[in-house]
Amino acid sequence: MRKILVAPSLLSCDLASVATEVASVESGGADLLHFDVMDGVFVPNLTFGPVLCRAVRRITRLPLDVHLMVADPTPLLQPFVTAGADRISVHVEATPHLHRVLDAIRNLGARPGVAINPLTPTVAVEQAWPFVDFILVMTVDPGFGGQRFIPEMLSKLAVLRQTRDGRWPAVELAVDGGVDAEVAPALIDNGADVLIAGTSVFAAADRAAAIRALKGESPR
Ligand code: DX5
Ligand code: ZN
């Protein structure tokens, strides 16, 4: 059985109390911390950069999973690795030079991933498998937390899962967008290893219970 990892997304936390928020999910059983970087160009929203990443790095031991929703990821790679990023994903829609970018992330010492938008066909990442540690399957169009999960993404995930199980068993499949305890079992059934969740974790008063619920563990 594959281990299911939960990555709470800081986008949905109370940023005025970021240290408390991070501590609550770290002690609540989170496996990674998801860090959404938006540039106002690739997506219609603007969020955080390496400065906040560095600050968060100092307050947690959790691996930092940086999701670059930016039109030009290249100039941000070194700054984010220096700021403590452990994993960095870039969008297949954003860069025509995906191999170069993934290679740069690995050479900088971080784990590279490719992110794919809901209506981008899986064939777009078909050549990327040998160069990634994970594929981040968007289950909403990126840009905002709190959007509704797109149910058609389950069959897309299943297609990627078949390739993963058959040829690239070490590559993780992450899902991002509208992930809650209701849809988590179907995501896990269809091959998800990493559940990225903003609202369903940070809107819950009991973060440990929310994380357990996502993993399908019984409440304590
Ligand atoms: C969306 C971001 C997600 C977002 C998920 O563009 O990539 O990581 O924070 O938030 P929820 O779980 O609320 O959909
Ligand atoms: Zn994200």
pLDDT tens digits along 128-181: 999 999 999 999 999 999 999 999 999 999 999 999 999 999 999 999 999 999
Residue 36 annotated in active site: yes
Active-site residue (options: 36, 65, 180, 193):
36
Residue 39 annotated in active site: no
CB atoms inside a 10 Å sphere around CB 181: 18
CB atoms inside a 10 Å sphere around CB 51: 10
Across residues 26-44, what is the average pLDDT? 98
Q: Say how many Å lie between the CA of residue 44 and the centre of ligand 2.
A: 14
Q: List 66's β-bridge partners, or say none.
A: 35, 88
pLDDT band at 219 (very low <50, low <70, confident <90, very high): confident
Which residues are placed with Cβ below 5 angstroms of ligand 2, an ion?
A: 36, 67, 176
Active-site residue (options: 31, 39, 65, 176):
176
Helix boundaries (H) for the chain = 18-27, 50-57, 74-82, 98-107, 153-167, 184-189, 199-202, 207-215
